[in-house]
Amino acid sequence: MNLSDYVKRRNGVPLGDSNSLRNMLSRSLGAGKFSIFWQYWNPIWGFYLGKYIFKPLKLILPQALSVIITFVVCGFIHDLAIMLLKREFTLLLTPWFLFMGTSLVLSDYARIDYSKYPWIVRAGINLIIISSCLLLAYQIRI
């Protein structure tokens, strides 16, 4: 599957469509599982992370560990961009993404499903998970 097909499948609209951001936010925030949130969030970035990080890792590691490592790599790439701009070492997004990846794996393992709740409740749950992971990351900020 190419990038254009992937984005259309995730967003429901072609790459570059004016409704792309709206669809991404609505679908991801309204997801009934934390793992589904990530299927819809930032499909362009997700395409490349899946293709170049997750899929190769999954060939040699268990899927859960591959997911967590993919999240850590993603967080580190974000941190690296910040370090290059600020010209100082800092890691906040790496642990944040570690916690989010771990939350995804644990919530799937526990089969946590809130899809029967209204969209606003699902969005609140997803935002609480993301915010909680960020608060944890701030506690161990390097």
Share of the chain above pLDDT 90, in %: 94
Total structural domains in the chain? 1
According to DSSP, residue 16 is labeled T
Instruction: Specify the pLDDT at position 61.
Output: 98
Q: Is 108 exposed, middle or buried (0-12, 13-18, 19+ CB in 10 A)?
A: middle
Question: Is a pLDDT exceeding 90 seen at residue 141?
Answer: no
pLDDT digits (tens, 9 = 90+) for 88-126: 998 999 999 999 999 999 999 999 999 999 999 999 999
Q: What is the pLDDT of residues 44-53, one digit of tens each?
A: 999 999 999 9
Q: What integer best gives the mean pLDDT of the chain?
A: 96
Tell me the pTM. Answer: 0.93
Rounded Cα distance between 93 and 74, Å, is 9
Expressed as residue numbers, the domain containing 108 is 3-139
Of 65 and 140, more confident: 65
C-alpha–C-alpha distance, residues 124 and 107, integer Å? 16
User: What is the DSSP-derived secondary structure letter of residue 123?
Assistant: H
Question: What pLDDT does residue 1 have?
Answer: 87
